[in-house]
Amino acid sequence: MKEDILKTAAELFLTYGFKSVTMDDIANAMGISKKTVYQHFENKNDLVEETTLFMFKLISEGIEDIRKEERNPIDEIFEIKRFLMRNLKDEKSSPQYQLEKYYPKIFKDIKEKQFCVMEDCVACNLERGVKNGLYRDSINVEFISKIYFTCMMALKDKELFPLNNFSMRNLMNNYLEYHLRGICTPKGLQLLDNYIETNHNQ
């Protein structure tokens, strides 16, 4: 039952935001009593914390599965992007903004966990790209790993990128192309151009 509640909470939080969804909403969506929800979670703060950890684990495992496929580094980046978009619902409700504003400690903790996962993922991707001749061997892996994560987080800032003007899908695609064109060798750029031409609707 607890995992079912977490799955429902994650779905509702991503759709409507952390602030908007109540314990009643979650109970109603599941067809159970609010008392049942409180048997597993002391309060909403507890539920939000466990839901973000549940989502983090789900996303981390999905990213790791993609990495195990050992695609070429450029394809891997776009496949991870597609996976994130499927699981984070394009973030139309600005859940990151609401989490940061109303649950700052939870936001800080989950951001640190995300950074560790993404830094390792991006660093390995960069090193493989250099090894395969797709990325320039002069790049600073540590610097790019940190700036990549920072920019990814900035894309979710709705004051910088209001949803009325920027869709998350377009933001992600534009940023990934921007990122890759800055580090690719001519061989990598050819692969990138071919990928974009083949997958321009994704």
Crossing angle of helices 186-198 and 168-183, in 10° steps, is: 160
Residue 14 parent element (H or E): helix 2-16
pLDDT at residue 167 greater than cutoff 90: no
State residue 169's pLDDT score: 85
The CATH number that domain 44-198 falls under is 1.10.357.10
State residue 54's pLDDT score: 96
Which distant-in-sequence residues (6+ apart) come within 8 Å of 85 by Cβ?
A: 168, 169, 172
Residue with tokens 């067809």: 31
Mean pLDDT value across residues 23-51: 96
Mean pLDDT value across residues 16-37: 93
Is residue 179 within 8 Å of residue 60, measured between CB atoms? no
Mean pLDDT value across residues 50-64: 95
State residue 89's pLDDT score: 66
Q: How confident is the model at residue 201 (pLDDT cuts 50, 70, 90)?
A: low
Lookup: tokens for 99: 């989490």
State residue 92's pLDDT score: 58
pLDDT at residue 166 greater than cutoff 60: yes
Provide the 8-state DSSP code for 32. Answer: S
Residue with tokens 């495992």: 61
Is residue 59 within 8 Å of residue 80, measured between CB atoms? no
Residue 43 parent element (H or E): none
pLDDT digit string (tens) for 89-129?
A: 655 557 878 898 899 999 999 999 999 999 999 999 999 99
SS3 state of residue 134:
coil
Mean pLDDT value across residues 144-165: 88
Is residue 54 within 8 Å of residue 13, measured between CB atoms? no
State residue 202's pLDDT score: 58
Instruction: Give the chain's mean pLDDT.
Output: 92
State residue 93's pLDDT score: 56
Please, what is the end-to-end C-alpha distance for the chain in angstroms?
A: 35
Q: How many CA atoms does the CB half-sphere of 11 hold within 13 Å?
A: 11
Query: CA 70 → CA 63, 105, 199, distances in Å?
Result: 12, 35, 19
Mean pLDDT value across residues 136-160: 92
State residue 26's pLDDT score: 96
Q: How is the chain split into domains, by residue range?
A: 44-198
- How far, rounded to the nearest angstrom, does the alpha carbon of residue 106 sit from its chain's CA centroid? 16
State residue 162's pLDDT score: 85
pLDDT at residue 37 greater than cutoff 60: yes
Is residue 99 within 8 Å of residue 160, measured between CB atoms? no
pLDDT digit string (tens) for 60-98?
A: 999 999 999 999 999 999 999 999 888 876 555 578 788
Integer-rounded Cα Rg, in Å, for the chain is: 19
pLDDT at residue 164 greater than cutoff 80: yes
State residue 50's pLDDT score: 97
